[in-house]
Copies of this chain bind each other. A is one copy, B any other.
């Protein structure tokens, strides 16, 4: 999917995020690609043609987007956080050889038998990660 500049502006505004140039560039990379990207990849993609932003702004912006519920983090690789433009409930298939992450829709997936939480606790998410690698040839 390709997002127009106006669509991105109203997306940010709906999340109470001022639509600055840098934030729009970062949002464009995340939402037009629809992939799971790490901060350094996002920095490289945004700056691919001309220098548009800095490392500090990329990290600040990703944390802001995450706090405002525009994106979410995917914790599968101890070396870096991946950012996911899809905040709908879904799960992940992780190729440990290539580092590639693909989505598993939550629809056709049922988990039963999860324990009850302590009464003063609330779930912030259930993440299922299926790790796979190439079969030994």
Interface residues of A (CB under 8 A from B): 73, 75-78, 80-81, 93, 95-96, 104, 108-115, 117, 120-135
User: Nearest Cβ in chain B — how far from A36, in angstroms?
Assistant: 14
Residues of B within 8 A of A96 (CB): 124
From A125, which residue of chain B is reached at the shortest CB distance? B131
From A78, which residue of chain B is reached at the shortest CB distance? B81
Choose among B80, B111, B115, B132 the residue that contacts A111 (Cβ–Cβ < 8 A).
Answer: B111
Q: What does DSSP make chain A's interface, helix, strand, loop or mixed?
A: strand
When the two chains form their complex, are residues B110 and A111 in contact, meaning their CB atoms are under 8 A apart?
yes
When the two chains form their complex, are residues A114 and B127 in contact, meaning their CB atoms are under 8 A apart?
no
When the two chains form their complex, are residues A122 and B135 in contact, meaning their CB atoms are under 8 A apart?
yes
Residues of B within 8 A of A112 (CB): 109-110
> Given the complex of chains A and B, what is the CA–CA distance between A80 and B96 in angstroms?
18
When the two chains form their complex, are residues B123 and A113 in contact, meaning their CB atoms are under 8 A apart?
no
> Given the complex of chains A and B, what is the CA–CA distance between A115 and B106 in angstroms?
11
Residues of B within 8 A of A93 (CB): 115, 117
Residues of B within 8 A of A113 (CB): 108-110
